[in-house]
């Protein structure tokens, strides 16, 4: 439940306060979730180690998308985030 509230607050900050549409917001949640599952099942890492690392992986994916889309706004930003 806490994960959904954090994602909702991030989306509210971007769409509600900044007015920028984001159609690929759930893709970054998926990157973090997939990283967490891989670290726990394949590598056998404990949850308290894999959870922060999966957040860092999602942040890295967001930073990599932010580099080319930093100057976009409006419909162009929505199309770029949809491409994720």
Domain count of the fold of the chain: 1
Its pTM stands at: 0.78
Contacts of 59 (CB under 8 A, 6+ apart): none
- Domain holding 16, by residue range, is 2-82
pLDDT of residue 36: 94
pLDDT of residue 50: 94
Q: How many residues does the chain have?
A: 84
Query: In tens digits, what is the pLDDT along the chain, a chain of 84 residues?
Result: 777 787 788 778 877 887 777 778 888 889 999 999 999 999 999 999 999 999 999 999 989 988 888 888 888 888 888 877
């Amino acid at each position: 439940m806490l994960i959904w509230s954090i994602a909702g607050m991030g989306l509210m900050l971007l769409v509600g306060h900044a007015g920028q549409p984001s159609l690929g917001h759930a893709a970054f949640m998926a990157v973090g979730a997939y990283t967490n599952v891989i670290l726990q099942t394949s590598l056998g890492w404990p949850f308290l180690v894999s959870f922060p690392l999966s957040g860092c992986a999602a942040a890295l994916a967001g930073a990599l998308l932010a580099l080319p889309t930093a100057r976009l706004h409006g419909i162009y930003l929505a199309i770029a985030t949809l491409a994720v």
